[in-house]
Every structure is written in structure tokens, then in C-alpha cells.
Structure 1
Amino acid sequence: MKTILCPTDFSILADSAIHYAVKMATVFDASLILYHCFIPFESAFYPLNSTTQENLDTKTILTNHLTAIMNSIVDKNPSLSITIHVDQGPEGIKITEFCKKKKIDLIVMGTKGASGLKEKIIGSFTAEVMTKASCPVLAIPEKYKFKIPKKITYASNYHKKDKKVLSYLLEINKLFNATISILHVDKGIMAFTADEDFDKYKNTIENHFKDFEFSFKHITGENVAKIILEETVADKTDLIVINPFKRKGFWNRIFYASITKKTAYLITKPLLSIPVQ
């Protein structure tokens, strides 16, 4: 992990993510980029040079804000490599483009979550980034303070690409030395083959990762996101890990994306999404 990106909208929520990102960059000896994106002003009623100047002024103000944050971080962490970047355009598109261009290894973002009608109307920007980013995204709940995770739970769908996700997770865990539990929530659709699927998956993982001992839990329930959260609270998980499940087919994409988003909406612990192509 060489480069960590931390988007900010200058809110208290974003400040929590910045503090966490600074700690992560220190632990991994990585560089940190503070990022902000704004929608440029455009109007047919104003001359082009006027709108251009206004956008330049806006970018200068935002750059100054980021610089002030960067300087306060450097004062306390003089050895940390940190830079800033201000983008303009649709943030959901720009942030993913920037990550690909700069080969970002991890995005650290704050998340407050959403529920009910608010969830359906505006959702969570962090959850959207999780389903679209080509690199891992770490969502930090409001006011959550950094600590080295001692227990990690990977919410699995028993997919063949889990081995890639777990390989990445084990690389990160070399610095944490945490226990890792693999949790699967079966919606009951294929309940009659559940035991067989569990045994087959467990044997596959254990045979592939002979140098690490995972624990496994397979349970049945309808509300997958809710059960994941309840189980991880009960067993005092410090970090929840998911794969955003980029599947072929419209209904599969809708179903798995919704689980990713609902989990991100409701978390009280850091949530790491690891995309695997």
C-alpha cells in the first residue's frame, strides 16, 4: 500500500476519516492525498471569462482550505508524505478517474449512513464509491477513533474469487496480526444445500491458505446486511470486510449492490470493500 486517498467536504464526518487516514498512512508508511471535488459554475447569462474567473477563485479558496488542513497534519506528523488535490466536475465520476490515473491503493472516506426515505432518495456517497471504485474503499463511521484491529470479519458470498479477496486481506493483516472470521448469511433460497456448500467452501479455503487459520460461521436469515452488522457487533469485530460483488446481469448487480450499500449505511465499525475483477 503506497498511496491513500482521503476525500473531504470539510465536514466533521470527513475530519474523522482524515484522522483515520493519517494513522493508516503512518502504519503502512504510505503517502496521503487530501482530495476535494466541486461542481464548476456555468451560466448562459454570464460571459465565459466571468465564469472561468469565478471557478478559479473557488478552486483557490478550496486549495487554501486543504492546505491549512495539510499543514496542521504535517505539524504533528512531520515525516508523513502528504499532498492535496482539487478537482472539478461530478464527484462520483471524478474520484474514480483520479484513483485510476494516480494508481490509488486505498480510499478512506467518512460515512454517516442513511435510512428509510432518505436512503432511497440521496443514499450514501461513500456507498456509491464502494460499488464503483476499482481500488479498496474504507468507510469510517462518524467520530470513530483509529485502533489496530484485533478481529476482522469477512462477509462472504462463497464466491470463487474470495481467494483473491482473502489474499489481499492477509497482506494487510501482516501489520495487524488480527484473527479473521469468514461469515456467510444464507437467505434460505438454497437452504437444502447449505451444509454441503459450507463444507465445500471451508475445505477450499483451508486447502488454499495453509499458513493461516480462519474461523467460519454460516447462518440463515432474510436481511443480510442487518445480520452482518448484528453478528459483528456481538463478536466485537473491529473491521468488517466485503466484496462489492460486481456481477453480470441486471438483477444480480442490483441485489449485491444493495447489500453493499445497506451495510455501509448502517455500520458502527470501519467497513472495507475489496473489489475483485
Structure 2
Amino acid sequence: MKNILIPTDFSDNAWNALVYGISFYQKTHCNFHIVHVNAINTTASGEAAMYVSPEILETSILAESREQLKALSKKIEQLPLNVKHEFHFKAIYGFLTDQLKDFVKEKSIGLIIMGTKGASGLQSVAMGSNTGNVITKVPCTLLAVPEDATYDKVEEVGFPSDLNLSYDVRILDTIKDIILLKKSALRLLYVSSKGEELSANQLKIKNLFLDYYKEMECTFHEVTGKHIDESVQCFTESRNLDMLIMVAKNLNFLERILFRPTVEKISYHTKVPFLVIHE
């Protein structure tokens, strides 16, 4: 049974991510762990802003969160019944990424699903910093769902790569599992800044990809553009992709797609969900 963690702040955005995840895995046996983390605020120096006694924690902060989780549970019950899904709820207090790391380990979580703030066109907006922190600091595969995304189908999946790093078989199998689950086509994408030819090593990795996915529909695409994030978006829109997959191992490449140098928060401006795979 697949163990999935869905952090929630009870916003519409978080609810949308939850519904997307339930729909995406509608034919899969899943344990959905819905968790609300009452995050500890920090000062500019990085120190905890305040200490909360165990008594106040239980009678006030966590008690309120549990009531909100009960209401969320009733809302989930209004969705179409799926006997393959079980739901578990928990309220936690602490530093967000630390608590999620511990929860992932404790419950053998295979996937985290979180909502993001999207934008239209090429306008860049800051994605929720919480999602950005979890992507970079919690070693667990994460599905980020933009606020306007609704689950319909996943016919085409894009996999942008700079073809500089080879990937572990487990990562390749994770991608294959998604493709087979949804009977999708895989579109490998390489963005060239000046239209230069692939190096011998890049050609080798490209051919390894194509060979590994030869039993399914898999095609290679190369586009030229100065800005990787804009090129990836243009490709996503022109192909009408339903999802993007990226690998956290190549953090530099991932950041060039998701981060802008002038903004500390993640920038993401397409309406398709993206899956970030950790080793």
C-alpha cells in the first residue's frame, strides 16, 4: 500500500492538492496521511521566536488544529467513496521541514503532495516558500500541485534534463511507474542556450534514456533558448503537457527552472503539476 503525506494549512490551495492526489491515485491502494504542522516562527537570527509550554500546546494550539482536521475529515467524506483509500489525520507542532522529515521516516512515506501558488503566462510569482523548503530539504519525492490544476488525465509527461548526470535505476523506475500507471507518453526535453551540439557524454545519457523507456512511447526534444524556465514553459504549453518530472539530484538544474536569482522563493508559472524525485 502506498503511503502518501499531504501537509495542509486548511487553505483552498491545500484542499485542491488533496483532491488532485486522491483523484490521481484513484485506482491505487493508498494511506493518505493528512498533517497540519503548527510551525514554530523564527527570528531574523534563526532562533525560535517563542517557547510554548506543553499545557498550552495541548489545550490551545493542537486542540484547535484537531478540530480543523475533524472538519476536513468530514469534508473528505463528502467525496465519492473509494474503498482503496484510507485517511489518517495528525496535528503537530515544530519546525516544518524537521517535522516532515521525521514523519516521512516514521510512516515510510513514498510521496508528499503539496499545493503551490501558480501564475498565468510568463509572469513569475513566488511559489509558497513552504513548498520550496520541502522540495530542497526533505528527502522524499514530492508532487507540487498549482492552485488552478484539476485532475483529468496525464497523457503526456515532460522530463527536462541537461543530460549531464546519469540517474540511479530507482529514479528511472519511479518515472516508469508513473508513465505505466497513467499510460502516458514521456517527452524528454533538452534546452540548449545557443544550439550547440550534445557532448559525447550527453549523447550517451540521452541514448540510455531512450533505451530504458523503449517499450513505451518516449520521444526526445531539443529546444534553444537563453532562459531554461521560459523554454520549459513554452514546451509545456506547446505540447499541452499534463505533468513535469524533475530530479532533485541535479539541484543546480532544478533551481534554474524553479528559482530566479533575484527571488529567494521558488518561481513557478505553469498550471501543470510537477513531480520532484529524490534519490
TM class by shorter chain equals 0.7 to 0.9
Q: Give, in whole Å, the separation in 1 of the partners of 2:186 and 2:87.
A: 31
Q: Which residue does 2:54 correspond to in 1?
A: 52
State the Cα distance separating 1:213 from its structure 2 match.
3.6
Aligned partners of 1:186 and 1:218 also within 8 Å: yes
Q: Give, in whole Å, the separation in 2 of the partners of 1:185 and 1:192.
A: 10
The structure richer in helix per residue is: 1
SS in 1 for 2:104: helix
2:176 equivalent to 1:174: no
Q: Which residue does 2:162 correspond to in 1?
A: 157
Q: Which residue does 1:45 correspond to in 2?
A: none
Aligned match for 1:220, one of 206, 217, 224: 224
Aligned partners of 2:118 and 2:148 also within 8 Å: no
State the Cα distance separating 1:128 from its structure 2 match.
2.1
Contiguous gaps of at least 5 residues in structure 2: 43-50, 261-265
SS in 2 for 1:16: helix
Aligned match for 1:94, one of 83, 99, 104: 99
Q: Give, in whole Å, the separation in 2 of the partners of 1:10 and 1:63.
A: 12
SS in 1 for 2:53: helix
Aligned length: 260
Aligned partners of 2:118 and 2:271 also within 8 Å: no
SS in 1 for 2:198: helix
Q: Which residue does 2:39 correspond to in 1?
A: 39
Q: Which residue does 1:143 correspond to in 2?
A: 148
Sequence identity (%)? 25
- The code of the aligned residue for 1:202 comes to K
Q: Which residue does 1:14 correspond to in 2?
A: 14
Q: Give, in whole Å, the separation in 1 of the partners of 2:123 and 2:57.
A: 36
TM-score, normalised to structure 2's length? 0.81
**Deviation readout 1:21-52 (Å, 9 max, x if unpaired):** 2223423221111111013699xxxxx9x833
Cα distance change on mapping 1:261 and 1:35 into 2, 3 Å: farther
- The code of the aligned residue for 1:86 comes to A
State the Cα distance separating 1:200 from its structure 2 match.
2.9
TM-score, normalised to structure 1's length? 0.82
Contiguous gaps of at least 5 residues in structure 1: 43-47
**Deviation readout 1:157-179 (Å, 9 max, x if unpaired):** 21211754332111122221011
User: Cα RMSD over matched residues?
Assistant: 2.9
**Deviation readout 1:206-239 (Å, 9 max, x if unpaired):** 3334422410012232211121111101110001
- The code of the aligned residue for 1:235 comes to R
- The code of the aligned residue for 1:62 comes to S
Aligned match for 1:127, one of 117, 125, 132: 132
74-83 or 134-143, which deviates more = 74-83
Q: Give, in whole Å, the separation in 1 of the partners of 2:197 and 2:183.
A: 34
Cα distance change on mapping 1:164 and 1:58 into 2, 3 Å: same
State the Cα distance separating 1:201 from its structure 2 match.
2.9
2:210 equivalent to 1:206: yes
